Structure 1
Amino acid sequence: MSKSQISKSANQQSANQQSGRPCHVLFLTQAFPRDADDLIGAFLLHLGQRLATEGVAVRVLAPHAAGLPSQETL
């Protein structure tokens, strides 16, 4: 992605926030923390949490791990 594309993307996000339209982000990943001690994919958890504090609606789609709920809200 070029600098101009990043700038346009940032400007669009700013315009969406000013217009009251929510910004949505979907992370598609093979690695996402399964519990508090799991470091695999922890950067995505932290990034998602940070985006959520900025008002971004964040969703993660990752493979299911046996013994864990099929859906979870953090």
Structure 2
Amino acid sequence: MSSGNETVLDLRGLKCPLPVLKTRKHMRALATGTQIRIETTDPLAVIDIPHYCREDGHQLISNAPVEGGHVFVIEKG
């Protein structure tokens, strides 16, 4: 699902390492500068997603807890 230039990736219900693996796979197809919103329920995602962004050169725009999980907005580097 896409709104403007932000894509939403629903990874709720997936356990580590699947949220990062699926995010990495999805990001490959995106143009530089594209933002993606990631929704997770995995508690380890708060460590894994920021680490993935640093490793792969993406910018973590926002990182916020939501009911039942966490939402991240990443801009492809």
**TM-score, normalised relative to structure 1:** 0.38
Higher-strand-fraction structure: 2
Higher-helix-fraction structure: 1
